[in-house]
Structure 1
Amino acid sequence: MLSRIAESLLWIGRYIERADGTARIVDVLRLQLLEDPATSESAAARQVLAVIMGMPCADDVGFADVGERLVFSERSPSSITASWLAARENARRARETLSTELWEAINTTWHRSNGLGRHAVTERHLSWVRERAALVSGIADSTMIHDDAWDFLVLGRALERADMTARLVASGGPQRGGAPWAAVLSSCGATQAFLRSQRGLFTEDLAATFLVLDRGFPRSVVFALRLAEACLQNLSPESRRTGVSDEARRHLGRIRTSLEYRPTPDILEDLPAQMQRVQRAVMSADAAIRTRYFQATPTTTWTEELV
Structure 2
Amino acid sequence: MLSRIAESLFWIGRYLERAEDTSRLLDVHVQLLLEDPVIDEESASQALITVMGVGADGETDQASVMRLLGWDPDSPASMVAAFWGARESARRSREIVSTEMWEAINTTWNIIDRGHIRRARPSQACQTIRERCAVISGIADSTMSHDQGWQFLVLGRSLERIDMTARMIEAAAYTADSPHAWVTTLRACGAHHAFIGTYRGADSDREAAEFLLLDRLFPRSLVFSLNRAETALANLDVGERRAGFTGDAVRLIGRARAELEFRPLSDILSDLPGRMTALQRTCSEANDAVAQRYFEGANPVTWHAGVR
- Residues of 2 paired with 1:223 and 1:56: CA distance? 31
Q: Report if aligned partners of 1:19, 1:80 keep a CA contact under 8 Å in 2.
A: yes
Amino acid at match of 1:279: Q
Q: 1:178 to 1:277 in 2, by over 3 A?
A: farther
Instruction: Specify the SS of the correspondent of 1:215.
Output: coil
Residue matched to 1:90: 89
Matches within 5 A, 1:107-186: 107-114=106-113, 115-118=115-118, 122-172=122-172, 174-176=175-177, 179-186=180-187
1:270 deviates by 2.1
Q: 1:187 to 1:101 in 2, by over 3 A?
A: same
Q: Report if aligned partners of 1:255, 1:277 keep a CA contact under 8 Å in 2.
A: no
In the alignment, does 2:289 pair up with 1:288?
yes
With the length of structure 2 as denominator, give the TM-score of the two structures: 0.91
1:141 deviates by 0.3
- Residues of 1 paired with 2:182 and 2:18: CA distance? 21
RMSD, matched Cα: 2.0
1:47 deviates by 1.2
Q: Report if aligned partners of 1:165, 1:220 keep a CA contact under 8 Å in 2.
A: yes
- Residues of 1 paired with 2:57 and 2:81: CA distance? 22
Q: Describe the superposition over 1:121-150 as per-residue Cα deviations: whole angstroms up to 9, x where unpaired.
A: 521111111111111110000001000010
Residue matched to 2:304: none
In the alignment, does 2:232 pair up with 1:222?
no
Unpaired runs of 5+ residues, structure 1, are: 300-307
Structure with the greater relative contact order (CA < 8 A, sep ≥ 6): 1 or 2? Answer: 2
Q: Report if aligned partners of 1:233, 1:240 keep a CA contact under 8 Å in 2.
A: no
Residue matched to 2:52: 53
1:36 deviates by 2.2
Q: 1:243 to 1:271 in 2, by over 3 A?
A: same
- Residues of 2 paired with 1:248 and 1:256: CA distance? 12
**Larger displacement relative to structure 2 (64-73 or 168-177):** 168-177
In the alignment, does 2:259 pair up with 1:273?
no
Q: Describe the superposition over 1:28-76 as per-residue Cα deviations: whole angstroms up to 9, x where unpaired.
A: 32233223222211111111112x1122234451121111011111112
Q: 1:180 to 1:32 in 2, by over 3 A?
A: farther
Q: Report if aligned partners of 1:46, 1:59 keep a CA contact under 8 Å in 2.
A: no
Residue matched to 2:3: 3
Unpaired runs of 5+ residues, structure 2, are: 301-308
Amino acid at match of 2:127: S
Aligned length: 298
Instruction: Specify the SS of the correspondent of 2:94.
Output: coil
1:298 deviates by 10
- Residues of 2 paired with 1:180 and 1:120: CA distance? 27
Q: Describe the superposition over 1:89-143 as per-residue Cα deviations: whole angstroms up to 9, x where unpaired.
A: 1111100001100000111111112332425752111111111111111000000
Q: 1:83 to 1:297 in 2, by over 3 A?
A: closer
- Residues of 2 paired with 1:15 and 1:44: CA distance? 25
Residue matched to 1:102: 101
Q: Report if aligned partners of 2:195, 2:208 keep a CA contact under 8 Å in 1.
A: yes
- Residues of 1 paired with 2:87 and 2:197: CA distance? 37
Identity percentage of aligned residues: 48
Matches within 5 A, 1:202-281: 202-238=203-239, 241-281=242-282
1:223 deviates by 0.7
1:269 deviates by 2.4
Amino acid at match of 1:78: A
